[in-house]
Amino acid sequence: MSYNAIKKTFDIGDGRQIEIETGKLAKQADGSVVVKMGNTMLLATVVSAQEAKPGTDFLPLSVDYQEKYAATGRIPGGFLRREARLSDYEILISRLVDRALRPLFPDDYHADTQVMITLISADKDIMPDALAGLAASAALAVSDIPFNGPISEVRVAKIDGKFVINPLLSDLERATLEFIVAGSANDIVMVEGEAKEISEEEMVEAIAFAHEAIKVQVQAQLELAEMVGKLEKRVYNHEPSNPELKERVYAATYDSVYAVAKSGLSKKERSAKFADIAEAFALTLGEDVDEETVFLAKKYFHDVQYDAVRNLILNEGIRLDGRDVRTVRPIWSEVDYLPAAHGSAIFTRGETQSLTSVTLGAKEDEQMIDGAFINGYSRFILHYNFPGFSTGEVRPNRGPGRREVGHGNLAMRSLKQVLPSQEENPYTIRVVSDILESNGSSSMATVCAGTLALMDAGVKITAPVSGIAMGLITDEKTGKYAVLSDILGDEDHLGDMDFKVTGTSKGIVACQMDLKINGLKWEVLKEALYQAKESRLHILNEMLKTIEAPREDFKPHAPRIVSLTIDKEFIGAIIGPGGKIIQEMQRETGTTISIEEIEGKGIVQVFADNKTSIDDAVRRIKAIAAKPEVGDVYEGKVKSIMPFGAFVEILPGKDGLLHISEIDWKRYETMEGIFQVGEIVKVKLLDIDKQGKLKLSRKALLPRPEKKQEPENKQEQ
């Protein structure tokens, strides 16, 4: 049996090749491809139901990215030794692809659709996340599933002053900016990434550079689809319609909805008023109305809200809470709210509030990252929690979902840019943001609260960071548009863009942009960035009224860390056989001690909540790591007694011979009765021979006895 595999290969612009293959694997899926770059291979499949479930008015799309450990020649950890639930890293890549694909499906397509992307082979220097969007879109391109693509995603980075597409992992450490950009041949649909305080112009330049690479990848998919011959998409009808009912809903509710939208009520009051209008119209339908009519009436009422809110903004410049398009909601903040935490802050902007805490830990508290492609340790951890009560909802607490992981990652990207170096701050840092209220961009509230809490904890961040969520309302017919600063939850839902930007007073450190429409003019993007800068600086100014700079010292109850650098030859001596020495020191001093080799040196960290414990442990470590110096005097312990002298331990693990002739100026014939094992004796190091043996003397520390003078005239005696 043979396979009719079809391949399309293209150059990404620097001589490196990407290959897309279809027709060989997973042929029962509606569409499947393998994307290969170097030794990195991704299998992407897509399956979509033929019919939508009754009553569904949205696209039930699921996107899952998973890495097979075999792809990197590793066996998974854990009891089962198999791939388990998606890691945070895999969830973040799944979200990147989801956010790029979702806006390009037809608005009236509501069939269950599943996209699965699997890393099946990995080149350790070629990052798979930049290929996942290409793989998913290519699978759709060779299927009959309706999709207004293709799209693709690329990573753009600036390394050594030059823009690079899909850089090697080993080069990424030198990057001053790094964005994942997704788009179609004509438009950008998604951006996410981080930077080292770049300007707005540099960010636009990076996105434009990425878009040129995306166009090449989109064209390759179109050519692949033509080679396969699947250019016809399936026929579907997932959305019933009733033009007469739609007209009735608009006629009966539009003016009332517009008036409520213009009233400037709070979120709760506004929602109640909208519900009253919808309920009043529902009563006009009668009691014997069928389910489809009820369903369509709700849908059309949502359309009324959509149009009314957008028209209010475009025509009158008035938003749901009464603000104009540039005004940021009132802000208040407070630090040191939690007396037992190492650092804490409350940040409130309008109806969005974050209570954030900072905990300082030892090296042992680092987060272990155990993925197939990315593994290692992280000394900065940020967790974001979004309980139901923050939006007045009853919702079971089942742990963080994909939204929480994504929002936390954006805040983490922002704050890590301003953390001090490990030499300046050896702590493991955990930031936890608990969202207590939410009506618009709780992730940006997390960035602001996180900055305040870090400064309250005494962490010497290089600059404070603030963040803002921007929105966009457009009208294709008239060409009108409005860029909104500090969007509400409803404006996010009803708008065309969610653009989050974080930065210091010097420049941008992270961003996340999602577009829900086709087309964003570069002029509009620039306007949004500059308006975001204005809002960011306003928020930053409000934050600095609460605390201007990091505290001079950590809180009195915060633990302390002392770092020591030792010669690597002493690492084993400090650890001891089977960890005996270091465990004994930790137990006896009440400290946590970590040691690792970095660049040929031993780096020791001693962690404790009181100075006495740290001093005790440091003294012991220095004693072990000290090098005996000829001429120095030591208080040593007698370890053993031999007929010819005693072996004395002058430093931990370092014994020297105190010969019988060096004990005293007088002569001893035997060692019997001179010393006891365990006795402390003061000695001087006389010499270290070529074999490293130590020669000790007690005699050298004793006064030399005077010689008896002989009488001048012996006869007189």
Annotated binding site for Mg(2+): 492, 498
Is 418:504 a contact under the CB 8 Å cutoff? yes
The answer to whether the CB of 220 falls within 8 A of the CB of 8 is yes
Produce one character per residue of 334-358: b if its CB has 16 or more CB atoms within 10 Å, e if not.
Answer: bbbbbeebbbbbbbbbbbbbbbbbb
CA distances to 219, 563, 593, 599, 613 from 603, rounded to whole Å, are 52, 7, 10, 10, 19
**Residue for token digits 């006795």?**
679
Torsion of CA 101, 107, 108, 113, to 10 degrees: 20
Cα distances (Å, whole numbers) of residue 278 to 241, 329, 392, 523, 688 = 19, 29, 20, 39, 94
Contacts of 538 (CB under 8 A, 6+ apart): 328
- What lies within 8 Å, CB to CB, of 237 at 6+ separation is none
Neighbours of 393 (CB within 10 A): 9
Is the C-alpha dihedral spanning 50, 56, 57, 62 positive or negative?
negative
- The number of CA neighbours under 13 Å toward the Cβ of 17 is 8
Q: Is 494 exposed, middle or buried (0-12, 13-18, 19+ CB in 10 A)?
A: buried
Handedness of CA 445, 448, 452, 457 (dihedral sign): positive
- Residue 369 CA to residue 707 CA, distance in Å, equals 74
- For residue 5, the 8-state DSSP code is -
CA 125 – CA 171 distance, rounded (Å): 9
Task: Identify whether the C-beta of residue 384 lies closer than 8 Å to the C-beta of residue 400.
Answer: yes
Q: Specify binding-site residues.
A: 492, 498
Question: Helix (H) and strand (E) counts for the chain?
Answer: 14, 29
Closest CA to 240 of 299, 171, 314: 299
How far is Cα 33 from Cα 140, in angstroms, rounded to an integer? 9
Phi, psi of 275 (to 5 degrees): -65, -40
What Cα–Cα distance (Å) separates residue 46 from each residue in 143, 146, 194, 219, 224? 8, 12, 30, 20, 16
CA angle 589-420-569, nearest 5°? 50
3-class secondary structure per residue, 496-545: CEEEEEEECCCCEEEEEEEECCCCCCHHHHHHHHHHHHHHHHHHHHHHHC
User: What are φ and ψ of residue 4, in 5° steps?
Assistant: -95, 70
**Residue that the structure tokens 């155990």 belong to:** 370
Length of the chain (residues)? 717
**Other Cβ atoms within 10 Å of 212 Cβ, number:** 13
